[in-house]
Amino acid sequence: MLHKIMAYKYEDDNIFAKILRGEIPNDTVLENEYALAFRDINPQRPHHVLIIPKGRYVSFDHFAKEAADDQIIGYIQAIGAVCDLLNVSIDNGDGFRMIANSGQHGVQEVPHLHVHILGGSSCGKMIQS
Ligand code: 5GP
């Protein structure tokens, strides 16, 4: 049986790494020890925020498997806080869509883990057929 040798390769020259290093400006919504949230440069809904961990993770699966517990907690808490800040939480708002495009079939453009939070108007059906 062939074993696929998988290694997540993080490249430090990706655009979100540059944002984290302060080399490119961003419109910050929230920052904590573990995460940075900023508005997408090309918003697809009235609210379109990207939330990235501060660690060197390519994708959600990479993060889920290799991040430390405090990194995971801090990142997920940042997502909840952004939903509150944007008033899209379903306890006091109209909801949102969270997307984490991953790899080639997920059509991920920037190889640093990010979730998109989209809200402020309906996001329509989940996926095109
Ligand atoms: P992906 O397809 O990788 O899930 O999404 C990448 C997202 O990053 C896109 O929605 C794109 O508009 C956004 N983006 C790309 N470059 C920049 C940038 O320099 N600044 C910000 N704020 N967003 C960016």
Q: What pLDDT was estimated at residue 62?
A: 98
For the chain, what is the mean pLDDT? 95
Among 40, 120, 32, 110, CA closest to 76: 32
pTM of the model: 0.94
Per-residue confidence band for 9, with pLDDT thresholds at 50, 70 and 90: very high
DSSP structure class, residue 92: T
Identify the residues whose C-beta falls under 6 Å from ligand 1. 15, 24, 26, 38, 40-42, 50, 101, 107-110
| pLDDT tens string 21-38 | 999 999 999 999 999 999
Residue with tokens 């660690």: 55
Per-residue confidence band for 7, with pLDDT thresholds at 50, 70 and 90: confident
CB-based contact 27:39 (threshold 8 Å): yes
| pLDDT tens string 66-122 | 999 999 999 999 999 999 999 999 998 999 999 999 999 999 999 999 999 999 999
Distances 75 to 54, 82, 108 between C-alpha atoms, Å: 9, 11, 19
Q: Residue 53 Cα, ligand 1 centroid: separation in angstroms?
A: 15
Task: Looking at the CA of residue 38, tell me the nearest atom of ligand 1.
Answer: 22
CB-based contact 78:35 (threshold 8 Å): yes
**If you write DSSP's letter for every residue of 23-35 in order, what string do you get?**
SS---EEEE-SSE
